[in-house]
Amino acid sequence: MLDVRKLITLRAIAAEGSIAAAGRVLQYTRSAVSQQLTALESEAGTALVDRTGNHITLTPAGRNLVEHAERILVELRSAEASLSTEAEGFTGLLRVGVPFHEGPRIMSRALTEVRRRFSEMEIRLAATTDEAGADAVRRDQLDMVIVSRYGAARSRTTPGLREWVLGHDPLRLCVPADHPLANSRGCTMAQLRDEPWVVCPDSTLGRLTVSLCVTAGFEPRVTATVNDIGTAIGLVGVGWGITIAPELTPAGTEAKLARLPIDGLDTLRHNVVIVRDGDQLSPRIAAVIAAVRAVSELPSESGQGS
């Protein structure tokens, strides 16, 4: 019978791309990871990885085994959750990832409510990004993340993860309060051809912004590149340029700015909570998810939770 611990090792190798990196994640020595892999290949009776230089890729058999490992880990987490009872109380450490400068205030409200309800639980917040958050949960670096997603609201079927949409808000053009468009009911992308732009080039929203400009027939004249939406909005408030951002993202500055719709742009930002599949059966994790979703359904500020 295949050893679950060896399957976890293979999964880490697949995720990290090398034996050394997998060892760092698992807190094993490189030789220990190599030994686990060799033993697993012996048990499986076939090669599971293709070693090319320092980088490792999985063989078809290896990929198939990792897919099974994901399902096995879900069942193990579910089994562990079934051993927990509410009588034990909601204690222990909960690691939550949030994009601090990007999310609407619903995120801070939800986490504040979780702390109020479960005062015996240690909640440790960690800064993450919309792009990296889900992967951090999958690798067990975080227990839960609340991130943003753009476009369709439907849940993704990422192996080993479970998610719920909390709410949504539309994208808006952000301009300084004294901008000629500040009092307009809307605008077109073509009207923004000669504007200075503040963008987050490494983010999904940043790439979408550049794509909208190119589709409208011009390359954006970028005056600032930043790492998060909150900083971009703050620079807009002090007159540095314009940007596109979700309507409910806090400005992070006292400077005034205007937010207006862009003709033809109906993309929404969806706020999503993500945990490892199986963890949601734990009374502790389930209670936290319920608290976060309950806050997201409050009528203030955001659209309807789902």
Q: Which residue carries 């609340």 as its tokens?
A: 146
Q: CA 223, 225, 226, 228: dihedral to nearest 10 degrees?
A: 100
Strands 49-52 and 55-58: antiparallel
For 178-233, the pLDDT digits (tens) are: 999 999 999 999 999 999 999 999 888 999 999 999 999 999 999 999 988 888 99
**CATH class of the domain comprising 4-82:** mainly alpha
How many of the other CB atoms lie within 10 Å of CB of 162?
20
Q: Are 32 and 38 in contact (CB under 8 A)?
A: no
Domain-wise residue ranges, the chain: 4-82, 87-306
From CA 56, how far away is CA 48, in angstroms rounded?
Answer: 10
Residue with token string 């697949």: 14
Query: Hey, CA dihedral for 112, 114, 120, 126, is it positive or negative?
Result: negative
- Cβ contact 58:14 at 8 Å: yes
- Name the nearest CA neighbour of 71 among 287, 220, 251, 276: 276
Q: What type of residue sits at position 187?
A: C
Largest CA distance in the chain: 71
Which residues in the chain land under pLDDT 70?
A: 53-54, 81-89, 101-107, 152-157, 252-253, 297-306
Supply the DSSP string of the chain, one letter for each residue.
Answer: ---HHHHHHHHHHHHHSSHHHHHHHHT--HHHHHHHHHHHHHHHTS--EEEETTEEEE-HHHHHHHHHHHHHHHHHHHHHHHT--GGG-S-EEEEEEE-TTTS-HHHHHHHHHHHHH-TTEEEEEEE--TTTHHHHHHTTS-SEEEEEEES--SPP--TTEEEEEEEEEEEEEEEETTSTTTT-S-B-GGGGTT-EEEE-TTSHHHHHHHHHHHHTT---EEEEE-SSHHHHHHHHHTTS-BEEEETTS---SSS-EEEE-BTT---EEEEEEEEETTGGGSHHHHHHHHHHHHHHTSSSSS----
Q: CATH: 3.40.47.10, 1.10.1060.10, 3.40.190.10, 3.40.190.290. Which one for 87-306? A: 3.40.190.290
pTM score: 0.72
The pLDDT tens digits for 228-261 are 888 899 999 999 999 999 998 877 667 789 999 9
Q: Give bridge partners of residue 65 from the DSSP assignment.
A: none
